[in-house]
Amino acid sequence: MSRADQHTRQQIADLVEACAGYWELRGVALESSAQMQLELEQHLQQAVSDGKSLEAVLGPNPAAFAEAWAREMRPRVFRGGAKVLRGLVYALSVVSSSALLSQLLARSPAFTFTLFGAYLLIGSGLLALLLQLGGFLAPRINKRAGREALVLAGVVLAVLVLRLAGLQVNWSTPLLSWGWPVTIVLLALAAFLFSLTCWRSSHREPLLTVSESWSALRTVTTFVASVGVFDIVMFFSSVAVVDFCRLALRLV
Amino acid sequence: MLVETRSTQLLKGTLDMCLLATIAQWPCYGYEMVQQLAQQGLDLVSEGSIYPLLSRLQHLGYIDGYLVASRDGPKRKYYHLLPAGAKQLEQWQAEWEVFARAVERILKGARSDEQS
């Protein structure tokens, strides 16, 4: 069997990842999804090495293929909620740690969660999901950069359409405000829920080797680091947005 | 653009039976089934369409799957026939023979009308 080149392998990996993300959202059991991914990857690799196109395997619409297979796997809505729950745990971690940092740095007794913060969190989650599902475009757009650019262009276009339709938003609008006790409770809740998701995944796939334990540790470190980076981005961008809104109000 | 031919439509309606018959010969994995169908002259418009059907057959208890390590890449999932699947295949084959004979009779009748 001749080896598919790096480029095609990336296309296959992105397609399989998009299918996996879709199946998870649809509520296909993770064990079944893992086997489906293996079968699909193996089939695509063999088909490509035999000179066939990805379209010959998945048809003109890979999302329809993923849906047709998901329907036969007895999906459950609550399983699809697990992915959403992970997103919520991440959002809670970002909000609680952001509140802690801002209260510590500003020595303020209260933290205000603005509309911009909510927009940033929800927008980032949706964008991450769209980028993953963008793998469905792999048979038509060969390069990952091209697919990502198309998804981003779609998002920008949607925002522009909303703006042109007359949607005006004051980003510095406070949504919620709370003090130290709530921040501590939220932090504890985020830590508890994150530990619960880690425990669930280790319960499903027990950590047997040293490398698996390192991998789990890396997952925790990556999560904490990404929450930290998100906090920094949210802090600086919200300061910029609030300043911009103030300036705009003065000009008006 | 992919255009559905009559043979594609016919294959769609009988693909589960063809897959079951292929697996009945010996245990095989998805790509192998597609190759065997192609060798018999049955080309699928989208090869992946066998997987939802295989999952359905598995849930119905007609076939079962098991993973086998492969030298060429990821593990392969082989399917083998279960007793319920063998029984169902017999029934489908009987139904198909009745159906095919009826169609053949109609077609022969049309041909003899044309000649006369």
Which of A224, A217, A216 minimizes the C-alpha distance to A187? A224
Distance CA B43, CA B23 (A): 17
pLDDT digit string, tens, across residues B24-83:
999 999 999 999 999 998 888 889 999 999 999 999 999 999 999 877 767 899 999 999
pLDDT at A250 over 90: no
Number of Cβ within 10 Å of residue A140's Cβ equals 13
Q: Look at the block and give the residue holding tokens 């995944």.
A: A201
Q: Tell me the pLDDT band of A204, cut-offs 50, 70 and 90.
A: low
Examine the domain organization and report whether A8 and A112 are in the same domain. Answer: no
Examine the domain organization and report whether A174 and A69 are in the same domain. Answer: no
pLDDT digit string, tens, across residues A21-36:
999 989 999 889 999 9
Tell me the nearest-neighbour CA distance from A38 into chain B, angstroms: 6
Number of Cβ within 10 Å of residue A4's Cβ equals 18
Three-class DSSP category at A55 = helix
Examine the domain organization and report whether A30 and A94 are in the same domain. Answer: no
Examine the domain organization and report whether A245 and A159 are in the same domain. Answer: yes
Q: Tell me the pLDDT band of A222, cut-offs 50, 70 and 90.
A: confident
Q: Do B74 and A38 touch (CB under 8 A)?
A: yes
Three-class DSSP category at A227 = helix
pLDDT for the residue B18: 95
Domain annotation covers residue A122 = no
pLDDT digit string, tens, across residues A146-160:
888 888 898 889 888
Kindly indicate whether the domain formed by B6-115 is annotated with CATH number 1.10.357.10: no
How far from chain centre, in Å, is Cα A203? 23
> Does the beta carbon of A61 lie under 8 angstroms from any beta carbon of chain B?
no
Least confident of A59-68, A216-225, B44-53: A216-225
pLDDT for the residue B74: 72
Structure token digits, residue A99:
């509140």
Element (H, E) at B24: helix B6-25
Looking at the 3D structure of chain A, how many domains does it have? 2
pLDDT for the residue A69: 96
Q: Which residue has the higher pLDDT, A186 or A234?
A: A186
Q: List CB contacts of B63: < 8 A, sequence separation 6 or more.
A: B20, B23, B54, B57, B79, B80, B81, B82, B85
Element (H, E) at B66: strand B63-68
The pTM score is 0.79
Chain A contacts of B34, Cβ < 8 Å?
43
Domain annotation covers residue A31 = yes
pLDDT for the residue A74: 85
Q: Look at the block and give the residue holding tokens 């040293």.
A: A210
Give me the mean pLDDT over the A228-244 stretch: 76
Q: Domain boundary residue among A51, A75, A99?
A: A75
Of B51, B73, B75, which has the smallest distance from its Cβ to A69's Cβ? B51
Distance CA A96, CA A187 (A): 5
Least confident of A168-177, A202-211, B66-75: A202-211
Q: Do B56 and A72 touch (CB under 8 A)?
A: yes
ipTM: 0.87
Which of B63, B49, B62 minimizes the C-alpha distance to B13? B49
Q: Which residue has the higher pLDDT, A244 or B28?
A: B28
Helices (DSSP H) in A72-209: which residue ranges? 77-106, 115-133, 144-164, 180-204
| Residue range(s) defining the domain that contains residue A66 | 1-75
> Does the beta carbon of A9 lie under 8 angstroms from any beta carbon of chain B?
no
Domain annotation covers residue A231 = yes
Tell me the nearest-neighbour CA distance from A126 into chain B, angstroms: 28
Counting residues of chain A whose pLDDT is more than 90, the rounded percentage is 23
Spatial contact of A216 and A207, defined as CB atoms under 8 Å apart: yes
Examine the domain organization and report whether A88 and A63 are in the same domain. Answer: no
> Does the beta carbon of A72 lie under 8 angstroms from any beta carbon of chain B?
yes
Residue boundaries of the structural domains of chain B = 6-115
Structure token digits, residue A143:
């390069």
pLDDT at A212 over 50: yes
> Does the beta carbon of A154 lie under 8 angstroms from any beta carbon of chain B?
no
pLDDT for the residue B1: 45
pLDDT at A2 over 70: no
Examine the domain organization and report whether A84 and A69 are in the same domain. Answer: no
Chain A contacts of B36, Cβ < 8 Å?
none
Tell me the nearest-neighbour CA distance from B91 into chain A, angstroms: 23
Examine the domain organization and report whether A99 and A198 are in the same domain. Answer: yes
Chain A contacts of B77, Cβ < 8 Å?
35, 38-39, 42
> Does the beta carbon of A38 lie under 8 angstroms from any beta carbon of chain B?
yes
* Pick among A2, A17, A31, A43 to test the B interface (most B CBs inside 10 A): A43
Q: List CB contacts of A106: < 8 A, sequence separation 6 or more.
A: none
- The torsion region of residue B74 among left (phi > 0), alpha (psi -120 to 50) and beta comes to beta
Examine the domain organization and report whether A53 and A163 are in the same domain. Answer: no
> Does the beta carbon of B71 lie under 8 angstroms from any beta carbon of chain A?
no
Tell me the nearest-neighbour CA distance from B41 into chain A, angstroms: 16
Examine the domain organization and report whether A175 and A84 are in the same domain. Answer: yes
Examine the domain organization and report whether A50 and A154 are in the same domain. Answer: no
Domain annotation covers residue A43 = yes
Examine the domain organization and report whether A168 and A205 are in the same domain. Answer: yes
Chain A contacts of B76, Cβ < 8 Å?
39, 42
